[in-house]
Amino acid sequence: SLATRHKQTSALSVEKELPSAGVYHKSPHSERNLNYIRTIEKGKKEAFERLSGDYEALLKEHEDVKKRLEASKARSKSQSTEIKMLKAQVTTLLETSKQNEG
């Protein structure tokens, strides 16, 4: 994933810049900085994963709302057609009633 690649790239760049433990002894200050960087990366990764989850949930919710909207439009169209038909029937009944009275 993008987050994994980003973390790997960041970790590699940090390791390239800092001497390896086998060759040089890391100072407490550089070790502290490295831990701080790792903490920041972990926080960014967690935030990215949270946002990705939220994004996926919003996409699903959006699809559900679109489906409900389409269903609502279909019901509305069907009801409009039914209303037109009923109005025509009422008009016909009124005309028939007037003719029968006359």
Eight-state DSSP code of residue 24: S
Residue 62 has pLDDT above 90, yes or no: yes
HEC secondary structure over 28-90: HHHHHHHHHHHHHHHHHHHHHHHHHHHHHHHHHHHHHHHHHHHHHHHHHHHHHHHHHHHHHHH
The tokens of 67 are what? 């489906």
Q: What is the pLDDT of residues 40-58, one digit of tens each?
A: 999 999 999 999 999 999 9
Block residue for tokens 């940090």: 14
Q: Which pLDDT score is estimated for 101? A: 83
Q: Which pLDDT score is estimated for 27? A: 86
Residue 93 has pLDDT above 90, yes or no: yes
Residue 30 has pLDDT above 70, yes or no: yes
